[in-house]
Chains A and B, each alone.
Chain A
């Protein structure tokens, strides 16, 4: 009977940053078009494990539920992805939910990704406008340039590319594909290009673009299909050029 069909979910729980992780298993009532968020909400409404033990609701981040805010990234069946677009019927059961491993755990599936926002500061990922007062229109831009830049500007800072990158580990603070791709984006913009040097300097040296070892996992995992390896290659080229000829341009 369809009504009795169950969804089995195993969640890696962790009470706080310093606590030891443990697994809990839940059996939920299956409904059509369920996603992982609906599973977590079911658990919150009735926090009882499969073997009947009362527990607490699972902590996790979520917001837009349409894969555009970047909040609900987690490791689902071993793969970093967004929980909202992870449809239960397309997942093998038991569904295993774990926090991402490259960021400190806050609680359960919630992790602290503030390093990504800090790195956006480091590379000056903005257009330095003179002010918000009326200075007329922005620079004209060829439609082709917009077509190239727009996909880069859809990065949701989910952190999946860091999660799968072998160069991001306890021995190496590689800044990661998402940030490097933002350097490319801002260097592409006519106003942003005027300050390309500052951004390139920020990704030269330890943890910078040269630390990429070309595993190419990032481009495969990106939920927004951003051409991340292309971005890394391009920024690497710009950085080398800057390193060789930079002193000439003074």
Chain B
């Protein structure tokens, strides 16, 4: 029997889990990552991972986790895959526990669980406030073990450029670039699994890491891989604004009892702790008595925007609200939240144990992503699979906190064996494909590089990137108006025109970060248009997608998945959502479900 070969792109939680599963099946893996995998963006996840283990006698169950997730996502997610994920979640946490993740413990030595947004149950396992880091390291260690055994070969410091397609539009491998030597090389594979994460850089500043550009998704889209529900972008309610990035303040701060408030009097400049309780406006608790500070993120974010922009009650007139932990004992804070308190302290020089934090919403996550099927994480192109944030499957119109880690690991765990099965069953393996198929794609990519480093022009890629980020943040995040979305798309098109005139300030052939960034920028612009056009078309409000001119969810016309296709231009198709398990009902958080 021939030995198949699989490539995995991206070494965050999803990519590493897929790698482990493929290696476990005895199939060799080439693992590509821009950064050493231990430095992937999954390290930034803070609060925890959901699994309905019902360890607190509350009557929680995977069925309730499933219902919370579907309800939280405003009924846009296909239900069978979400159910499968929620059913698998307790086993995933057991596995991570066996891998040695230093989860917080109860007195009995069991895993501790805390509350998170969009649920009334203690369902979130956590390792301090650096859960993503701890999970990533656990999977990284398992992959290193396979690497030491020769079952995994890592290509760290390589970036994906394009898929290699044969004449029947089947993926036979990919082109990647060594970020040191700038060598472009084509690699053969029977299947490729993309776990390329978030797209924060499209919005300029976000809570995402530098590598989260969405470039791979954009490149694949231009090669015919469909992209679904792009318009669903999560803006996290509590981030610390910064010029280089918006640093996340985890939802776990509220899960552990943190309260969000503003002074009742506009422009009140008194130090926060001198303001008496009856002169504070705890708006989430007042507006959403049942869930209070733990309403889902889209709801909390819109509430903060309303308080700041409509009621003009931002702290001292600024775009900021208080996230207050000062009433919680210091020992509890240090044991459960130290990682995030440290971030606030280091970057702002203020101790959040003694002074309320100032926070504001920031772009955080894309619910939309590469279209995949409901069973195998398979895209519409044979041989291409996707898992993790880069695909669209598990979160509908809004993701619940602590569901991203579980979806990454679950999706990666499904994609790995699915790709193995596909690779074992194909008629002709990648080794039988003519070398010219690889060479023509390699040449095409080489030519793009050549063009970029030789062309003369007047535009700087960083300037274009910044302008794109401003347009997207202003018009395509929390509140969307069709007029503004049209303007945004026009602006993106004109940026694409200007892109043709970019001039690289670095034309060297060694470790040229400018060239790589310029390549990524084009793919970002493409994806920005997919997101914007999806938002423009969807005339309703659902989950994170909010249009004041169409304030209600419209199941009659819009209970459907947006499926963007590339056919020389962006085309939006729609397909029904699988709602076979839970009938849609109105989504309300002011009362119990």
A195 to B517, CA, bound (A): 44
B148 and A66 contacting across the interface, CB-CB below 8 Å: no
Is A56 part of the binding interface, using a Cβ–Cβ cutoff of 8 Å? yes
B35 and A71 contacting across the interface, CB-CB below 8 Å: yes
B127 and A150 contacting across the interface, CB-CB below 8 Å: yes
B462 and A44 contacting across the interface, CB-CB below 8 Å: yes
Residues on the B chain within 8 Å of A67, using CB: 343, 346
A127 and B141 contacting across the interface, CB-CB below 8 Å: yes
A110 to B137, CA, bound (A): 23
B-facing residues in A90-114 (Cβ within 8 Å):
106-107, 110, 113-114
Residues on the B chain within 8 Å of A125, using CB: 141, 144
CB distance from A190 to the nearest CB of B (A): 9
A124 to B349, CA, bound (A): 38
Is B510 part of the binding interface, using a Cβ–Cβ cutoff of 8 Å? yes
A140 and B109 contacting across the interface, CB-CB below 8 Å: yes
Against A, the Cβ 8 Å flags (1 = close, 0 = not) of B41-57 are: 10110000000000000
B243 and A33 contacting across the interface, CB-CB below 8 Å: yes
Is A131 part of the binding interface, using a Cβ–Cβ cutoff of 8 Å? yes
Is B100 part of the binding interface, using a Cβ–Cβ cutoff of 8 Å? yes
B141 and A34 contacting across the interface, CB-CB below 8 Å: no
Knowing A66-B343, A87-B347, A150-B128, the reply to whether A57 touches B514 (Cβ < 8 A) is yes
Is A220 part of the binding interface, using a Cβ–Cβ cutoff of 8 Å? no
Knowing A45-B462, A135-B98, the reply to whether A33 touches B242 (Cβ < 8 A) is yes
Residues on the B chain within 8 Å of A47, using CB: 505-506
A66 and B347 contacting across the interface, CB-CB below 8 Å: yes
A121 to B142, CA, bound (A): 10
Knowing A16-B511, A126-B144, A135-B98, the reply to whether A85 touches B243 (Cβ < 8 A) is no
Residues on the A chain within 8 Å of B358, using CB: none
Residues on the A chain within 8 Å of B102, using CB: 146, 149-150, 153
Closest to A37 in B: B244
B108 and A140 contacting across the interface, CB-CB below 8 Å: yes
Against A, the Cβ 8 Å flags (1 = close, 0 = not) of B331-355 are: 0000100010001001101000000
Residues on the A chain within 8 Å of B110, using CB: 140
B105 and A143 contacting across the interface, CB-CB below 8 Å: yes
Q: From B105, B144, B463, give the contact of A120 (CB < 8 A).
A: B144
Q: From B91, B141, B346, give the contact of A126 (CB < 8 A).
A: B141
A129 to B36, CA, bound (A): 23
B133 and A154 contacting across the interface, CB-CB below 8 Å: yes
Is B493 part of the binding interface, using a Cβ–Cβ cutoff of 8 Å? no
Residues on the B chain within 8 Å of A141, using CB: 105, 109
B100 and A127 contacting across the interface, CB-CB below 8 Å: yes
Closest to B137 in A: A153
A121 and B144 contacting across the interface, CB-CB below 8 Å: yes
Residues on the A chain within 8 Å of B462, using CB: 41, 44-45
Closest to B143 in A: A126
B130 and A68 contacting across the interface, CB-CB below 8 Å: yes
Is A181 part of the binding interface, using a Cβ–Cβ cutoff of 8 Å? no
Q: How large is the interface on A (under 10, 10 to 19, 20 to 34, 35 or more residues)?
A: 35 or more
Is A174 part of the binding interface, using a Cβ–Cβ cutoff of 8 Å? no
CB distance from A192 to the nearest CB of B (A): 6
Residues on the A chain within 8 Å of B537, using CB: none
A44 and B103 contacting across the interface, CB-CB below 8 Å: no
A146 and B105 contacting across the interface, CB-CB below 8 Å: yes
Is A136 part of the binding interface, using a Cβ–Cβ cutoff of 8 Å? yes
* Most chain A beta-carbon contacts within 10 A, residue among B39, B95, B133, B346: B39
B35 and A106 contacting across the interface, CB-CB below 8 Å: no
* Most chain A beta-carbon contacts within 10 A, residue among B21, B100, B128, B347: B100
Residues on the A chain within 8 Å of B105, using CB: 141-143, 146
Is A35 part of the binding interface, using a Cβ–Cβ cutoff of 8 Å? yes
A87 to B244, CA, bound (A): 12
A121 to B133, CA, bound (A): 19
Residues on the B chain within 8 Å of A146, using CB: 102-105
CB distance from A182 to the nearest CB of B (A): 9
B91 and A85 contacting across the interface, CB-CB below 8 Å: no
Is A128 part of the binding interface, using a Cβ–Cβ cutoff of 8 Å? yes
B134 and A62 contacting across the interface, CB-CB below 8 Å: no
Q: From A45, A71, A107, A124, give the contact of B39 (CB < 8 A).
A: A71
Is B479 part of the binding interface, using a Cβ–Cβ cutoff of 8 Å? no
A-facing residues in B36-74 (Cβ within 8 Å):
36, 38-41, 43-44
Against B, the Cβ 8 Å flags (1 = close, 0 = not) of A58-85 are: 0101111111111100000000000011
Residues on the B chain within 8 Å of A62, using CB: 210
Residues on the B chain within 8 Å of A35, using CB: 244, 347
A147 to B102, CA, bound (A): 9
Is B318 part of the binding interface, using a Cβ–Cβ cutoff of 8 Å? no
Residues on the B chain within 8 Å of A140, using CB: 108-110
A56 and B44 contacting across the interface, CB-CB below 8 Å: no
Knowing A45-B463, A56-B505, A138-B94, the reply to whether A129 touches B510 (Cβ < 8 A) is no
A186 and B148 contacting across the interface, CB-CB below 8 Å: no
B506 and A57 contacting across the interface, CB-CB below 8 Å: yes
B-facing residues in A1-36 (Cβ within 8 Å):
15-16, 31, 33-35
Residues on the B chain within 8 Å of A41, using CB: 244, 462
A64 to B206, CA, bound (A): 11
Knowing A127-B100, A132-B20, the reply to whether A15 touches B510 (Cβ < 8 A) is yes
Knowing A65-B245, A127-B100, the reply to whether A106 touches B145 (Cβ < 8 A) is no
Is B314 part of the binding interface, using a Cβ–Cβ cutoff of 8 Å? no
Q: From A34, A38, A117, A143, give the contact of B107 (CB < 8 A).
A: A143
Is B460 part of the binding interface, using a Cβ–Cβ cutoff of 8 Å? yes
Residues on the A chain within 8 Å of B242, using CB: 33, 65
Knowing A16-B511, A69-B209, A143-B106, the reply to whether A57 touches B100 (Cβ < 8 A) is no
Is B147 part of the binding interface, using a Cβ–Cβ cutoff of 8 Å? yes
A189 and B106 contacting across the interface, CB-CB below 8 Å: no
A37 to B244, CA, bound (A): 7
A68 to B248, CA, bound (A): 12
Identify 14 residue pairs between A and B in the complex whose beta-carbon atoms are under 8 Å apart, listed by A's number. A35-B244, A61-B35, A63-B209, A68-B339, A113-B36, A124-B145, A125-B141, A127-B138, A131-B24, A137-B98, A140-B110, A142-B105, A143-B105, A191-B98
The 7 A-B residue pairs with the shortest CB-CB distance in the complex, in nearest-first order? A138-B97, A140-B109, A126-B141, A127-B100, A107-B511, A56-B506, A138-B98
Chain A interface residues toward B at CB < 8 A = 15-16, 31, 33-35, 37-38, 41, 44-47, 54, 56-57, 59, 61-71, 84-85, 87, 106-107, 110, 113-114, 117, 120-121, 124-129, 131-132, 134-138, 140-143, 146-147, 149-150, 153-154, 156-157, 186, 189, 191-192
Chain B interface residues toward A at CB < 8 A = 20-21, 24, 35-36, 38-41, 43-44, 91, 94-95, 97-100, 102-110, 127-128, 130, 133-134, 137-138, 141-142, 144-145, 147-148, 156, 180, 209-211, 242-245, 247-248, 335, 339, 343, 346-347, 349, 413, 460, 462-463, 466, 505-506, 508, 510-511, 513-514
